[in-house]
Amino acid sequence: MAILTAKDLAVGYEGQPVLEGINFEINAGDYFCIVGENGSGKSTTMKTLLGLQSPISGDIIFGDGLAKNEIGYLPQQSIVQKDFPASVYEIVLSGCQNNLGKRFFYNKEDKAMALANIERMGITHLKDRCYRELSGGQQQRVLLARALCATKRLLLLDEPVAGLDPQVTNEMYSLIKDLNNEGLTIIMISHDITAVLDYATHVFHVTANGAEYMDINSYVNSDLGKMYIRKEEQ
């Protein structure tokens, strides 16, 4: 059973659709990549899946017992965060906010989970460091650890390697792949076609004329896929 299904979904702002006719099914364990031109509606689609904005029409169906607040999200960094005085631990712990419920403070389990995810991302030595002093790659690991506190099943990533150097980019991808191997479902917006070909199990390709959803093998052999891969590899 699919954990997330989009049915005739149209997304956009103020009643103006940016992208229409979105149909796909994401199953547990999928590595689902959203690719396409800038401004074609990739981020808007992801924001709609996250419930940050409402769909223009159509449905998003959560299945297999996945609750709407069990989603981990790695957003693109905002300017606000660049000079934010917060320790790594404080930020990762804030990923547990959906566990708070009616409580005001984090409990022992929340704190243990934050520490475990800090360890999982290999940043235990940075635990008490200030977020704004970290390198781009380290900051992404912090935000990934936070996302992991919010979810055990579904992770949405919005261009997780934007602005990272090649070596750090590869480390980031293998981290995400490890998480996928551990059973997390991945939905990722990516500009990086080589990563898509290496890791994705399914591709959602957005163009100005609409969107196509395929598994990776059909995508590689499709006209759309061939064209895009050739263009990107040049």
Partner 1 sequence: MLDTLTLYLQFPFVRYALIVGVLISLCSSLLGVTLVLKRYSYIGDGLSHVAFGVLTIATILKMASTMVLVLPVTIFFAILLLRKGQNSKINGDAAIAVLSVGALAFGYLMMNLFPSSANISGDVCTTLFGSTSILTLTPADVWVCGIMAIVVIIIFILFYNRIFAVTFDENFANAVGTKVNFYNLLIATVIATIIVLAMNLVGSLLISALVIFPALSAMSILKSFKSVTIFSAISSMICAFAGILISILAGTPVGSTIVAADLALFVVCYIIGRIRG
Is residue 94 involved in binding partner 1 (CB under 8 A)? yes
Least separation in angstroms between residue 106's CB and partner 1 is: 6
Tokens of 104: 């005001």
116, amino acid identity:
A
Is residue 42 involved in binding partner 1 (CB under 8 A)? no
State the binding string over 95-134 for partner 1 (x if CB under 8 A, else -). x-xx-x---xxx---------------------xxx--x-
Element (H, E) at 9: strand 2-13
35, with CB counted inside 10 A (0-12, 13-18, 19+), is: buried
Write b or e for each residue in 47-86: b if 16 or more Cβ atoms lie within 10 A of its Cβ, otherwise e.
bbbbeeeebbebebebeeebeeeebbbbbeeeeeeeeeee
Cβ proximity to partner 1, 116 vs 130, nearer residue: 130
Cβ proximity to partner 1, 76 vs 217, nearer residue: 76
For partner 1, the binding residues in 148-177 under the rule CB under 8 A are 150, 156
Cβ proximity to partner 1, 110 vs 212, nearer residue: 110
Give how far the C-alpha of residue 167 lies from the chain's centroid of Cα atoms, to the nearest Å: 20
Q: Identify the residue among 39, 52, 109, 122 touching partner 1 (CB under 8 A).
A: 52
100, amino acid identity:
L
Is residue 13 involved in binding partner 1 (CB under 8 A)? yes
Tokens of 84: 């934010």
Cβ proximity to partner 1, 36 vs 75, nearer residue: 75
Is residue 80 involved in binding partner 1 (CB under 8 A)? yes
Q: List 33's β-bridge partners, or say none.
A: 188, 203
CA 53/CA 51 separation, integer angstroms:
5
Is residue 78 involved in binding partner 1 (CB under 8 A)? yes
Provide the binding-site residues for partner 1, judged by CB under 8 A: 13-14, 47, 50-52, 68-69, 71-73, 75, 78-81, 83-87, 90-91, 94-95, 97-98, 100, 104-106, 128-130, 133, 146-147, 150, 156
